[in-house]
Amino acid sequence: MGSRAFKDALYGQFARVSKSLGHPRRLELIDLLAQGERPVEALARETGMSVASTSQHLQVLREACLVEARKDGLYVYYRLANPAVFSLLQGVRGVAEAQLADVRRVVDTYLGGRDGMAPVGREELLERARSGEVLVLDVRPAEEYAAGHIAGALSIPISELEARLKELPKRREVVAYCRGPYCVYADEAVKLLRGSGRKARRLHEGFPEWRAAGLPTSTVRRA
């Protein structure tokens, strides 16, 4: 095989991966699956798509070997094929943040004012959590917490937080986290906690970034 034929074949395979990412819904699906395995129906609800459309997008990702599927009764569950898939999403996101001014404009338009929440970095949170200075609060849905969470974190989904405020100490700082840097659950939690007179901040990123960095995580064993 000549040099040209080799390069065409090689870069053709690379293009299979990049082509599969060429739709915003597929990037969102990868972001959701970074939280843990999900059935098609749950992914459809999260993304606001029909089950049929969700399945089609997942099939494209599956053909590029970015996701895997298993069947359990009537349901089909999807998961990321490899941790490197989330790293790929991080790379795309990082390049877009660095090179596209429109990303900053979108963030400022929809998430303006969050800088006042004094976001906490991963290493700072790890140190302060180990010393007992802060309570780490996971405000994602319970099934995502069960699939994986920051070690020692307390689970109170954002939909339940207002009704369960009494479970949180008033004199201990709370650091809330959710799915990632653009997830608003932690923002909502900080606003609610501060409104109740508590000291609260948000983790700068989310659980997938924490896990990708090799920091301590836990799961909930299923019965």
Question: Is residue 167 in a domain?
Answer: yes
What is the pTM for the complete model shown? 0.91
* CATH number assigned to the domain comprising residue 13: 1.10.10.10
* CATH number assigned to the domain comprising residue 139: 3.40.250.10
- 158-193 residue pLDDT tens: 999 999 999 999 999 999 999 999 999 999 999 999
Question: Is residue 95 in a domain?
Answer: no
Bridge partners, residue 78, by sequence: 38, 69
Catalytic residue among 156, 158, 178, 193: 178
- Regarding whether 64 and 31 lie in a shared domain, the answer is yes
Distance between start and end Cα atoms, the chain: 55
- Regarding whether 114 and 205 lie in a shared domain, the answer is yes
Told to judge if 178 belongs to the known catalytic residues of this protein, a careful annotator would answer yes
Of 59, 64, 57, 61, the closest CA to residue 16 belongs to: 64
CA distances from 42 to 35, 106, 114, 142, 207 (A): 13, 26, 28, 13, 19
Tens digits of pLDDT across the chain (223 residues)? 679 999 999 999 999 999 999 999 999 999 999 999 999 999 999 999 999 999 999 999 999 999 999 999 999 999 999 999 999 999 999 999 999 999 999 999 998 877 777 899 999 999 999 999 999 999 999 999 999 999 999 999 999 999 999 999 999 999 999 999 999 999 999 999 999 999 999 999 999 999 999 999 999 976 5
Q: Where are the alpha helices (DSSP H) in 34-82?
A: 40-47, 51-63
- Regarding whether 71 and 116 lie in a shared domain, the answer is no
Range of the domain at 136: 109-218
Question: Is residue 98 in a domain?
Answer: no
